[in-house]
């Protein structure tokens, strides 16, 4: 691996060793974390209900919006129809995001839990360029020419074609209401699908969907401020200790013996040898704190490794005293990192490339971040616990061009989907947990009486979409019951309208 390109500010570096030599994809740690949760193959939130589904494929156009190519690919989708009723039933349609669709099927227990009540067929549609839905097979990530059809618009068109296909091929599905459901980027897609295809779906549940994390719709520092708040609330001096750790690392890393000591103290699998290594270490640590904020669930879970309930509280036990030596602070950092990477005690060393799941999904998301999904992030080290880093669009763009030969269009998503000017749309639920840093870019207040916001105190990243759990806070139980209430109303309204037409 050649030395990485000039640093673009500490928030905007991504260094994935499994990519092409010399490649440095300039994706901020926050955006990496966004997709990481969905690229892990191990993190599962099981419903108490057995998840029985069948796997299907539909032939989709590679390009829905041009006419000079007839090339097609097979899009994968899953169907579970155990509780579906042709008489008065519904179709819950998961708008797949950046990962394997079976992962989403296994981790969206909410849909399985409500299927019987809503007499619903469950459909999980895989996003193009992820999982097994690869438009050009093994060449899908070869270059920007092959990746040119990886856009949210093409994905929404896939979903529209799939719904039309289901309604014309499944007896009894034609005159049934469809509700779009998604979390994270999938939640954004669910909301956008309702906006762009209101004739296809009667409503959408957009969980933890940061549709306003673009341009200057929200301050670029809000994400990292929420991460910091999560740590500050979880233990006195916790965020303060983490804020002090960056300078401690810098001081210790100034000498060769210091680099060796850091490598030993943190039990790193690969020793630190230069400044670039130290910067990678700090990026990796920062991304770890972000990941913990996203998965700060009230029960044990299994992300990259097994995690305890309320993991940030466990981490903050090691950050009680800010007035310790640099060496002691770094020993405490090691103990805290172990909560995330080695809670089971199985790992002999910490691998600073481990947060980057080695899969094609990482490639797809980095390309999307370099084209449409341009989300500005910044830190100032005062309102947050991270090293100061400004958002530099030009450097971000240059890094994208080096990697993919493309430049981002930062204002396109706002132009395409309306930014904050969305009050003409109807029937969208925006749910956000107040622990989730992505809530800073989400809709957290009602816009109209049919564009509603549900805030979940003590809720992390789309906790409401996970399966019912005995340790769920009452806040998420209430949120889910409200979501079902809205969905039942949409279904009732649909059938009332259908009767009115006959």
H helices, E strands: number in the chain: 16, 10
Q: Which of 296, 384, 436, 472 is catalytic?
A: 436
Cα separation, 185 vs 167, in Å, equals: 26
Residue 304 CA: distances (Å) to CA of 248, 318, 341: 27, 21, 7
Residue 378: φ, ψ to 5° = -150, 165
Known active-site residue 436: yes
Cα separation, 34 vs 281, in Å, equals: 19
Output the furthest CA–CA distance in the chain (Å, rounded). Answer: 82
Known active-site residue 184: yes
Residue 2 tokens, joined: 């050649």
Known active-site residue 434: no
Q: Which of 90, 133, 140, 184 is catalytic?
A: 184
Count CB neighbours of 421 within 10 A: 9
Name the residue among 7, 13, 15 with its Cα closest to residue 27: 13
Cα separation, 130 vs 149, in Å, equals: 12
Q: Which residues contact 415 (CB under 8 A, 6 or more apart)?
A: none
Q: Which of 38, 425, 461, 462 is catalytic?
A: 461
The DSSP element (H or E) to which 429 belongs, if any, is strand 428-433
- Answer whether 75's CB lies under 8 Å from 130's CB: no
Q: Residue 120 forms beta bridges with which residues? A: 90
Catalytic residues: 184, 436, 461
């Amino acid at each position: 691996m050649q030395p990485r390109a000039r640093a673009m500010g500490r928030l905007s570096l991504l260094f994935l060793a499994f990519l092409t030599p010399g490649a440095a994809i300039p994706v901020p740690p926050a955006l990496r974390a966004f997709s990481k949760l969905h690229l892990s193959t191990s993190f599962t939130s099981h419903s108490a209900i057995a998840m029985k589904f069948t796997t299907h494929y539909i032939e989709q156009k590679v390009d829905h919006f041009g006419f000079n190519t007839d090339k097609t690919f097979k899009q994968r989708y899953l169907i579970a129809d155990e509780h579906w009723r042709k008489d008065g039933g519904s179709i819950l349609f998961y708008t797949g995001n950046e990962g394997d669709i079976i992962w989403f099927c296994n981790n969206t227990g909410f849909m399985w839990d409500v299927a019987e009540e809503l007499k619903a067929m469950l459909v999980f549609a895989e996003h193009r360029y992820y999982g097994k839905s690869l438009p050009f097979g093994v060449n899908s990530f070869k270059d920007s020419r092959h990746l040119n059809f990886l856009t949210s618009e093409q994905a929404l068109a896939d979903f529209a074609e799939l719904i039309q296909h289901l309604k014309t091929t499944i007896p009894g599905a034609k005159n049934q209401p469809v509700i779009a459901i998604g979390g994270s980027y999938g939640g954004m897609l669910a909301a956008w699908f309702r906006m762009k295809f209101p004739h296809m779906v009667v409503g959408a549940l957009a969980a933890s969907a940061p549709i306003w994390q673009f341009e200057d719709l929200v301050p670029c520092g809000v994400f990292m401020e929420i991460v910091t708040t999560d740590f500050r609330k979880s233990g006195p001096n916790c965020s303060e200790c983490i804020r002090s750790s960056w300078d401690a690392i810098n001081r210790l890393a100034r000498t060769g013996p210091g680099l060796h000591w850091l490598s030993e103290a943190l039990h790193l699998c690969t020793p630190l040898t230069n400044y670039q290594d130290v910067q990678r270490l700090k990026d990796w640590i920062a991304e770890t704190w972000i990941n913990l904020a996203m998965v700060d669930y009230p029960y044990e879970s299994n992300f990259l490794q097994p995690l305890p309930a309320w993991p940030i509280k466990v981490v903050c036990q090691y950050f009680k005293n800010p007035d310790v030596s640099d060496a002691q602070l770094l020993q405490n950092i090691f103990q805290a990192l172990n909560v995330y990477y080695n809670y089971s005690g199985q790992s002999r060393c910490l691998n600073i490339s481990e947060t980057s799941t080695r899969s094609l999904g990482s490639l797809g998301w980095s390309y999307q971040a370099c084209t449409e999904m341009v989300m500005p992030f910044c830190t100032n080290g005062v309102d947050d616990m991270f090293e100061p880093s400004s958002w530099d669009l030009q450097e971000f763009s240059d890094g994208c061009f080096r990697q993919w030969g493309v430049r981002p269009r930062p204002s396109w998503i706002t132009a395409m989907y309306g930014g904050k000017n969305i009050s003409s749309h109807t029937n969208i639920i925006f749910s956000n947990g107040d622990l989730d840093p992505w809530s800073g870019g989400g809709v957290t207040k009602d816009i109209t009486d049919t564009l509603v916001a549900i805030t979940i105190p003590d809720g992390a990243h789309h906790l409401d979409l996970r399966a019912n759990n005995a340790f769920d806070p009452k806040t998420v139980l209430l949120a889910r019951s409200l979501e079902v209430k809205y969905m039942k109303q949409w279904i009732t309204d649909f059938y009332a309208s259908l009767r009115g037409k006959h």
